[in-house]
């Protein structure tokens, strides 16, 4: 684990890898796997990925993303009632 400073330690703990046992190899991963998918919005950071052969295979969680009790990534959203998103305090942010 990277322990140079607290920020790099947190970044290291929030990494997501598609490599390893049960995952992909660098040689078999095509462009579709490495590209940003619409379901990544709010869950996986599309910018923070290493350059080189691991590009798109090692990612980081977005700022407010979290895992639930089943291991799925969740992102906060606001409920829309009757086609209107109320940004005041009447409707809380949900996961």
The predicted-structure confidence for 81-94, as pLDDT tens digits, reads as follows: 788 876 766 667 77
**What CA–CA distance (Å, rounded) separates 26 from 4?**
27
- Each residue's pLDDT tens digit, 56-86: 888 999 999 999 999 999 998 887 778 887 6
74's CB contacts (< 8 A; 6+ apart) are 43, 65, 66, 67, 68, 95
Looking at residues 47-52, what average pLDDT do you find?
89
The pair of structure tokens assigned to 90 is 């009447």
């Amino acid at each position: 684990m990277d322990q140079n400073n607290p920020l790099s330690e947190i970044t290291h703990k929030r990494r997501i890898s598609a490599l390893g046992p049960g995952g992909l190899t660098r040689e078999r991963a095509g462009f579709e796997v490495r590209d940003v998918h619409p379901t990544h919005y709010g869950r996986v950071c599309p910018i923070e990925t290493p350059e080189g052969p691991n590009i798109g295979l090692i990612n980081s969680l977005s700022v407010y993303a979290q895992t639930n009790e089943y291991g799925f990534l969740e992102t906060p959203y606001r409920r829309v009632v009757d086609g209107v998103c109320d940004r005041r305090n009447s409707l809380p942010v949900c996961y």
